[in-house]
Amino acid sequence: MPDLLQIEHIRKTFPGVVALDSVSFSVAPGEIHTLLGENGAGKSTLMNILTGLYRPDRGRILYAGREVRFARPRASLACGIGMVHQHFMLVPAHSVFENILLALDGVPGFFSRRRLRDRIQQVIDEFDLDLDLDSPVWKLSIGAQQWIELIKLLMRDCRLLILDEPTAVLTPQESERLFAVLTRLREQGKSVIFISHKMREVMEISDRVTVLKKGRSLTTLARGDFDQARLAGLMIGDDQVPQWRKQSRVGDDVVLDIRDLSVRNDRGLADLDSCSLELKKGEILGIAGVAGNGQKALAEVLTGLKKAASGRIFAAGEDITHSSARSSYIAGIAHIPEDRKSIGIAPDLSVDDNLILKSFKQPGFRRWIFQDRAAIRRNAREKIAQFAIKAGPDGAPVRYLSGGNIQKVIIARELSEDPAVLVALYPTRGLDIGSAEYVHKVMADGAARGMSTLLISEDLDELLKICDRIAVMFRGRVVGCVDPRQTTREAIGLMMSGEEVA
């Protein structure tokens, strides 16, 4: 059977940057084709070309045997190429239904709302998703928002689906469900381009894998020809991956003691429902759970962005739930936020400035009311070297950095004051292997110095590898704690779906 999509020698440059050098691969009908590559390898640029956001400088795209040039996103959509982006393209204030409606073509001026709703509901039921069509999008978890993106494409009958790290927001069970959906789509003859760097998934789902490195397609391997080690080797090449070893040195002191804590959300429902947890000195405590089961609220209440409705938080024995000590204590908690671009950085300021966003008032960075620019620069140079940040030219706004480097800037800033507690939300989401390993190393090193970490992640492999203890959350409660050395992914997965384990 001829290929559905053929990409030949695509090149794309931006002023001063070669984003894609020469990329070729093809996707057959009914194939799940994985694109594997580090951040900055050119995956996103390539996908933006496929979806008509960018135009290539050179090379050809053949779709269903014809050469195509997509001038606009609509053109590629009209061909049946649909994409679920890493950053969702949704209108937060509109309802789920309205967002899906927005994505559909050919809806007549007068349409039967009910019939359309029924059609959408069919898709929702078919794939067993739990989605309220009338809820505004901003109230939904990120996981649920991704479903909307998927439904949009399924409603349009796309022939080629592109999924950019779709499992980053899903539980193992949900990922399994997604894979089942993808498998079913494959059986229907649809093609999928799957972008991921979680090896386990790549191994499980891919028919073929194309490895991208520095804007070039290195090779395409068919199922059976690739294994985890081979792919990792190709992907990383001769790049350095930081080495670290976990030393378990959990103390007896309880650094943070959360008792029956409840937090309400904008709808007045409990995001946290009498949740209890203990964090010990030097411990890395993992929080596993499906997105939207209270992990975010937990992080927000610990970092001062939300208030507790009831319950108590004790820090080193002192009650800090409401007292004035709370703000000063919270100032000492390092926080790696979930949405790094929207709350982690001031995009127009330089790397130097972003590195002191929290500590700019401290004596080291000021002389009387003036900033000590020399000290700030010195600090930046130190951090850039220490955390291997690729910062670009001096003074360049931080928004030009890649996702991994932005994350490093945030981590460098948050850890620079030797915090007693680190609350990290999905710190490796969207990072390449090297950067992710680096983040793990930083946390392990911190633990060795006595820093306690609350690590909220959806990547069970990550949790199992690095944590001393894993607490599983479901509907705002901790349903149980497990020892990563004595548990399995399956056991945790069951707990994530709400089953209490003795």
Partner 1 sequence: MSLPRFRTERRELNAPLLRFLAPLLSVLVALFVAGFLLLAAGVDPAAAYLEIFRESVGSIYGLSETLVKATPLIFAGLGVSLAFRMQIWNIGAEGQIYIGAMAASGVALFSGIENHLLMLTCMLVAAFICGGLWAGVAGLLRVRWQVNEVIVTLLMNYIAILWTDYLLFGAWKDPKGFNFPLSAQFSDAARLGDYFNTRLHSGFFLALFCALLLYLLMERTVWGFEIKAIGSNPQAAQYAGMKTGPAIVLVLFLSGALAALAGFSEVAGLQHRLIHGISPGYGYTAIIIAWLARRSALGVVVVSFLMGILLVGGDSLQLTWQLPIAFIYAFQGLILFFLLAADFFLQYRIRRVAGGDA
Judged by the rule CB under 8 A, the positions of this chain that interact with partner 1 are 14-17, 54-55, 63, 66-72, 74-76, 78-79, 303, 305, 331, 335, 337, 342-349, 353, 357-358, 360-361, 365-366, 369-371, 373, 400
Instruction: Name, in order, each residue with C-beta under 8 angstroms of 153's C-beta and a sequence gap of 6 or more.
Output: 82, 83, 84, 161
- Nearest Cα to Cα of residue 105 among 156, 141, 154, 150: 156
CB nearer partner 1, residue 98 or residue 372: 372
Shortest Cβ 404–partner 1 spacing (Å): 17
Which CB atom, from 325 or from 343, has the smaller least distance to partner 1?
Answer: 343
Give least dist CB 365 to partner 1, A: 8
Minimum Å gap between C-beta 197 and partner 1 is 24
Burial of 115: CB neighbours in 10 Å, binned 0-12, 13-18, 19+: exposed
E strands, 152-282, where? 160-164, 191-195, 208-213, 216-222, 254-264, 270-280
Instruction: Decide if 294 contacts 262 (C-beta within 8 A).
Output: no
Q: Which is nearer to partner 1, 69 or 223 (CB)?
A: 69
CA distances from 486 to 149, 278, 304, 340 (A): 37, 20, 34, 33
C-alpha closest to that of 307 among 317, 320, 318, 295: 320
Q: Smallest distance from the beta carbon of 270 to partner 1, in angstroms?
A: 23
Crossing angle for the helix pair 142-155 and 96-103, nearest 10 degrees? 40
Closer CB to partner 1, residue 203 or residue 305? 305
Closer residue to partner 1 in complex, CB, 31/353: 353
81-84 vs 310-315, strand pairing mode: unpaired
Cβ proximity to partner 1, 223 vs 399, nearer residue: 399
| Pick 223 or 373: Cβ nearer partner 1 | 373
Nearer to partner 1 (CB atom), residue 172 or residue 344: 344
In 10 A of CB 124, how many CB atoms?
20
Q: Who contacts 438 (Cβ-Cβ below 8 Å, separation ≥6)?
A: 242, 387, 388, 408
Contacts of 276 (CB under 8 A, 6+ apart): 258, 259, 260, 261, 478
300: β partners:
none
> Least distance in Å: CB of 360 to partner 1?
5
Q: Name the residue nearer to partner 1 (CB basis): 216 or 335.
A: 335
Pseudo-torsion of CA 270, 272, 274, 280, nearest 10°?
A: -170
Nearest approach, Cβ of residue 201 and partner 1 (Å): 31
- By beta-carbon proximity to partner 1, the closer residue of 17 and 316 is 17
Mind giving me the DSSP string for 107-123?
--SS--HHHHHHHHHHH
Nearest 5°: the CA angle 450, 454, 456 is 150
What DSSP designation does 95 have? B
Contact between 411 and 436 (Cβ < 8 Å):
no
How far is it, in rounded angstroms, from Cα 473 to Cα 132? 22
User: From CA 112, how far away is CA 448, in angstroms rounded?
Assistant: 62
Q: How far is the CB of 345 from partner 1 (least distance, A)?
A: 6
Closer of 325 and 331 to partner 1 (Cβ): 331
> At closest approach, how far in Å is the CB of 429 from partner 1?
18
* Minimum CB distance to partner 1 smaller for 104 or for 357: 357
Q: How far apart are CA 361 and CA 370, in angstroms?
A: 10
Q: How far, in Å, are 9, 103, 282, 288 from residue 446 at the CA level?
A: 45, 46, 8, 21
* Torsional sign, CA 373, 379, 380, 381: positive
Question: DSSP state, 344?
Answer: I
Task: Using the minimum distance from each CB to partner 1, give the nearer residue, 430 or 480.
Answer: 430
